[in-house]
Homo-oligomer: A and B are copies of this chain.
Amino acid sequence: MASNSFGTLLTVTTFGESHGPAIGCVVDGCPPGLELAPEEFRHDLERRATGRSRHTSQRREADEIEILSGVYQGRTTGTPIALLIRNTDARSKDYGNIAEQFRPGHADYSYWQKYGHRDPRGGGRSSARETTMRVAAGVIAKKWLAQRFGVVVRGYVSQIGTIVPAGFDLDAVETNPFFWPHAAQLDELEQYMDALRKSGDSVGARVEVIADGVPPGWGEPIYGKLDGELAAALMSINAVKGVEIGDGFASVASKGTEHRDELLPDGFASNHAGGILGGISTGQRLRCSAAFKPTSSLRLPGRSLDIRGNEIEVVTTGRHDPCVGIRAAPICEAMVALVLMDQALRHRAQCGDVGEVTPRVPAQAGQGDV
């Protein structure tokens, strides 16, 4: 399997460097007949885009998607869908001085150790610029899941630095630049982020994704488990250092009598498992989350080495988010959608279309979902 490809039946292959001529992806395995137009990508690309508020990087990218293949007369044909975005706002001069330096916390050192040669412009291939194409591919997956199964996938931020939501309202998420589910905290967040930016430092964030409407039965045993693939998908995003399904690490300190989700005639009594048992969906709300480390590119100097082993001081003057996790909400959402669509296709390959093989006990989403 190619390292820059993701998925088994719905395969996404991305390419491109942060400051190269273009970034793009090839989405292979999408069923035929799905309506798809270039403008459908715009909304999610803007959600992810830099420059959306003063709390994210000021790099402005047009990010106009061109559909190069796989769509005819506005519908997918079943052949590979290639998407392309030209890099237009690549100010390489911001990055020129780091060609021979290892920025602390970045992939500079490990790429150089691996390849002995790297594209230093804006982080090259290791830049989060790559995630733009994940979001684009995710648009296709989210649309197909919604049309075919009524599945809705939504991401939001559930921690910024030390701040956690004091309430939970999904409708609030898309109304603020923090993807925050509690509108009453926006002033607090604004002040926190302003202070942070002023200090020159950065913080991490936690992003949660929930998926509603996932039928029971998606996911494959053992190494193709739904949760295993979600973990791989989320951990593959830049700056992610942890992944949780359902209660995640809180499960460690919980008791079995509390954690096991009992089944009642009207559905599950709780959802500590996050909608997955034995790697297969239960029909409950799917819940997972990812931990993003704080941005490593800081204007506060850091000690490092250059490629000859000399001590240096690294100061990053380019445009960078003080909290990269914030705009990762749509990225996580896209990855979850891509995993779900892939698993949906795999499920129908082995078990036929949903409803054909599987008898059902009514399974409503249980309580305790967030």
Q: Known contacts being A244-B242, A279-B107, is A28 close to B3, with CB within 8 Å? A: yes
Contact of A117 among B32, B108, B296, B352 (CB under 8 A): B32
Report which of B3, B67, B254 forms a contact with A204, defined as CB distance below 8 A.
B254
CB-defined contacts of A217 to chain B, threshold 8 Å: 110, 113-115
Please tell me if A269 contacts chain B, counting CB pairs below 8 Å. Answer: yes
B16 near A82: Cβ-Cβ < 8 Å: yes
Chain B residues with CB under 8 Å of A246's CB are 241
Interface string of A230-265 (1 = CB under 8 A from B): 111111101011111111110111111111111111
Query: Which B residue sits closest to A313, measured CB to CB?
Result: B262
Determine whether A300 belongs to the interface, using a CB cutoff of 8 Å to chain B: yes
- Verify B115–A77 contact, CB threshold 8 A: yes
> Copies of this chain, how many?
4
A330 within 8 A of B: no
Which residues on the B side are within 8 Å of A265 (C-beta)? 305, 309, 311
From B104, B277, B345, A260 is in contact (CB under 8 Å) with B104
A350 contacts B31, CB within 8 Å? Answer: yes
Interface-facing stretch out of A49-57, A124-132, A168-176, A178-186: A124-132
* Additional A-B contacts beyond A9-B346, A31-B351, A254-B294 (8; CB < 8 A): A15-B80, A17-B72, A79-B221, A106-B278, A202-B256, A241-B247, A255-B294, A264-B305
Instruction: Provide a sorted-by-A list of 28 A–B residue pairs whose CB atoms are within 8 angstroms.
Output: A1-B224, A2-B80, A3-B220, A3-B346, A4-B223, A5-B13, A9-B9, A15-B80, A21-B68, A33-B116, A75-B117, A106-B277, A110-B217, A110-B279, A113-B283, A113-B358, A114-B351, A161-B252, A201-B257, A222-B236, A235-B243, A241-B246, A252-B325, A256-B298, A262-B304, A263-B305, A309-B361, A348-B352
Asked if A165 CB lies within 8 Å of chain B CBs, one says no
Given A251-B293, A255-B201, are A261 and B17 also a contact pair (CB < 8 Å)? no
Question: Is A219's CB within 8 Å of the partner chain B?
Answer: yes
Distance in angstroms from A263 CB to nearest chain B CB is: 5
Flag if B261 contacts A105 (CB, 8 Å): yes
B280 in contact with A223 (CB, 8 Å): no
Contacts of A224 in B (CB 8 A): 1-4
Say yes or no: A72 contacts B223, CB within 8 Å: no
Q: Cα distance A220–B161 when bound, in Å?
A: 29
